[in-house]
Structures are given as structure tokens and as C-alpha cells.
Amino acid sequence: MAKQILFIIALLITLGVFAYTIMRLWSFFKLTKPFPIRNYGKRIGLVLEIAFGQTKIFRRPVIGFLHAIVFWGFCVILLGSIEMVFDGVSGGEKSFYVAGFIYKFIFASGDVFAVLILIAIFIFIVRRLFFRIKRFMGSELSHKNHADAYVALSIIFLLMVSLLSMNVFYCAMHPTNLKGYYPVGIFLAGYFKDLNYESAHILYEISWWWHILLIFLFANILPYSKHFHVFLSIPNVFFSRLDPLGKLPNMDSITKEVKLMMNPETAFAAPDPNEAPPERFGVKDVEDITWKNYFDSLSCTQCGRCTSVCPANITGKKLSPRKIMMDVRARMKEKGPKLVKQGKDFSDSKALLKDYISLEEIWACTTCTACAQECPVNINQPTIIVDLRRYLVMEESSGPAGLNTIFNNITNNGAPWQFSPEDRMLWAEELYTK
């Protein structure tokens, strides 16, 4: 009974802290712009292929396989964690055992996956400590970012150790009457065959509390770390842009203006009185982005796969698609609480554009979408880069000299070239004089 009460208290504290975090993030999402979601069937297919199938991760076969093992292992072990919560609240033990063979298969798989995850995490830590992986470097990554990775990897490592320890001592407690099947636990329990029931039970309880409290701690650390993708990667894949990567989204207000210009029959159509004029063209600060842009920033794993394939970055330009996502998240963290508290009129004389993301960065992008193609959680970095450009061009009439020349030519000549329409075919006259 005491264990049950202590567990319920720990669970309520965990849920309370987590609920506070989610409500805080929700208040930030309400500051952003809409992003329509349609075609749910195709989105479910993407989740099965990219999230659960881990197809993008396998583009780097060896390390991708290790990441996939960790992901699949967590999916299986999650079922055991749910059972632990149920046991803790109800005061029971192995409550889901009524599932029979399915229970044995799932928990045997979790036992094996725990070992595989331990091996994978050990390799990940060694890679970070002793190998200078280029995509793990970058001016945007501070000491805190690197420490964040080590903390998360260490907690996952300890979670697997505590899970295996729990299974081992459970097998030592019940050598002939197990609920479930634990191949690794049974093997390792052989080294503790001289342990009496009382000692094994104490060690099992210590491991049980160690494991569940680590889960509670990890759940509340994740939203404040780069490993928030543990929760958000699957939803982010579900909310992916379904348009081809090369298709950039149009601005509805501009599209309507162009259609009015191109179709004389609607040139004098009355404007919709319920439609508010756009507050701003493009993106200047975080209140101009869509909720999907912010969701992308929270889902970013900071793995650097996007930056490692970016042609601008490879050729020495300042642009790093990973930094763009990190800047969006950091800017919302800075400005969001003040916008929530003081309203939309709040200004700290700073902005996402220029103060966080420089002009050099956004104009270096070739919109090749290699970053979006490579991202394992389907983040689309070019869309926000293009929206930052739109603000500069449409609100500040600012852009590279070459782009301004094109705009002037379109205005004066009706085409991007500097020649007037009457002179366009002069180059061909000599073809007919010979």
C-alpha cells in the first residue's frame, strides 16, 4: 500500500510538470499562423513508411540501422512502461499477463531490445567522444547542445540497465513460475542462483523504482532538450507538407491579386468583407510563422543531416539549415512568454530576421530542397527561408542586386531580361539574311 501511494504521488507530480510544459508550448502555438491539414490517408502512409519504417535513416546504412534499433526498441519497451504505470496505480504485478502468448512475445522482444539499445547507445557515445563527425560540429552548436546529447544518451543507457536489472532479479525471484518470458533475464539470473527470494525481491524493487523514476524524469526533460523529437517525430511526419519538395507555397493574398489582374471579368469583383487584409507579407519574426514551422523547430533532432547535404554550406557559405530551425525555437523561447503576457503589440526591438538569421544566410539558399529530402523527421526548411525572403522583398524592397535588376526588368520590359519586347528577336535577323 505504501508503494502504491508513493507511486501515485510521483505520477501526479510528473503529470503536473508535464501538463505545465504542454500548456506553455500551446500558448506559443496560438501565436502562430494556420497551416491546413488534409489527406489523412496519405499522411498515415507516410508515418508507416518514414516514422515506423525509418526509411530516411537507412540512407546511412550502418548508423541508420543502430538508430532504427533504438526507435523500434523504444516502441516495444513502451508497452512494458505502460504496464508499470498500471501496476503502480493498481498495486498489482504483471497486470497485462492475461494477454498470454502476445505478452510473452512482446516482453521477450523488449528484453532483447534492451541489450541491443545498450550496444547502440554505447556506440553513439563513443562516436561523439572520440570521432570528430563533421555534422556534429557547427558554430550553431554550443557546449550546452553537446551536453544535452550526452545527458539524453546517458539516461537512455541507464534506462536499459535498470530494465535489464529488473528483469534479471524478477527471474531470480521466480525461477520456475515466471509471468512472461525474458531470455536475457533468465540467462543473467543464472549468475544469481544463490540469491534468496528476499534479497532478489529487494534488488527487483530497487530496479523497478530506478527504472520508472528515470522514465518520469526523462519525460519532463525531453521538452526542454533537442531530444523532444522522441515525442514529436511521429506527429511531425504525419503533419508533413504533401506537395512535391520543389513546389513552394504561394501567398493566398498575392495569388488573388494576380488572378484579378489576369482575368478582366473579375477585375471589378467586390472584395470579401469578412476577409482581413494580411498583417504582413512573409516572415519577420516568430509570430509570422505557421504552427507547422514551430512544430518543425521543436521536432528538430539537430542531427546535422540537412546541413551536411546543403550545397551552400558545403561550398563555404554561412547557411546551415539546422541553424535555421534552432533559431526559430530559440527566438520563440525568448519572445513567446512576453507575447503571451503582454499581447501581440509587445516588441523587444529584435526579430528572427537579422538578429537571429542573417541576410547572408537566407540568400545563400538555392532552394534545392536537399535538406528537406534528407531530414529523417520530414522538416521542410526552405519554406521558412523563402518566407523570410518574401518579407525582405515585399515589405522592405530589399534583395540582392541581381534580383532587384530582374524585378526592374519585369516592371519595365515585361520579362526578366534587359531588352525591350520589340528587340527580343533582333538576334535572329542574321539567320534569315544569309
Residue 345 counted as domain residue: yes
Residue 233 counted as domain residue: no
Residue 243 counted as domain residue: no
Cβ of 322: how many Cβ atoms within 10 Å?
Answer: 26
Q: Quick one: pLDDT at residue 431?
A: 76
Q: Quick one: pLDDT at residue 52?
A: 92
Of 86-95, 127-136, 273-282, the one with minimum mean pLDDT is 273-282
Flag whether pLDDT at 143 surpasses 90: no
Residue 417 counted as domain residue: no
Q: Quick one: pLDDT at residue 246?
A: 87
Are residue 30 and residue 151 in the same domain, yes or no? yes
Are residue 14 and residue 117 in the same domain, yes or no? yes
Of 84, 225, 202, nearest to 154 by C-alpha is: 225
Q: Quick one: pLDDT at residue 273?
A: 62
Are residue 222 and residue 298 in the same domain, yes or no? no
Return the percentage of the chain with pLDDT > 70, whole number. 95
Tell me: the pLDDT tens digits for 300-351? 989 889 999 999 999 999 999 999 999 999 999 999 999 999 988 888 889 9
Residue 245 counted as domain residue: no
Flag whether pLDDT at 258 surpasses 80: no
Mean pLDDT of all residues in 87-103: 87
Identify each DSSP E strand in 78-124 by its residue range.
Answer: none
Of 406, 155, 216, 381, nearest to 283 by C-alpha is: 381
Are residue 280 and residue 150 in the same domain, yes or no? no
Q: Give rounded-to-5 percent helix, strand, coil for the chain.
A: 70, 0, 30
Flag whether pLDDT at 265 surpasses 60: yes
Are residue 160 and residue 259 in the same domain, yes or no? no
357 beta partners: 353
Are residue 260 and residue 133 in the same domain, yes or no? no
- Average per-residue pLDDT in the chain? 89
pLDDT grade for 415, boundaries at 50, 70 and 90: confident
Are residue 203 and residue 257 in the same domain, yes or no? no
Are residue 211 and residue 350 in the same domain, yes or no? no
Residue 93 counted as domain residue: yes
Flag whether pLDDT at 249 surpasses 90: no
Comparing 185 with 425, the larger pLDDT belongs to 185
Are residue 201 and residue 256 in the same domain, yes or no? no
Residue-number span of the structural domain to which 343 is assigned: 252-269+276-399
Q: Quick one: pLDDT at residue 369?
A: 93
List the CATH number of the domain containing 309.
1.10.1060.10
Are residue 59 and residue 197 in the same domain, yes or no? yes
Residue 241 counted as domain residue: no
Mean pLDDT of all residues in 61-87: 92
pLDDT grade for 268, boundaries at 50, 70 and 90: low
CA–CA dist 159, 145 (Å, integer)? 21
- Total structural domains within the chain: 2
List phi, psi (to 5°) of 283: -120, 125
Q: How many residues does the chain have?
A: 434
Identify each DSSP E strand in 187-262 by its residue range.
Answer: none
pLDDT grade for 272, boundaries at 50, 70 and 90: low
Residue 347 counted as domain residue: yes
Q: Please, are residues 365 and 319 in contact by the beta-carbon 8 Å criterion?
A: yes
Are residue 30 and residue 158 in the same domain, yes or no? yes
Flag whether pLDDT at 191 surpasses 70: yes
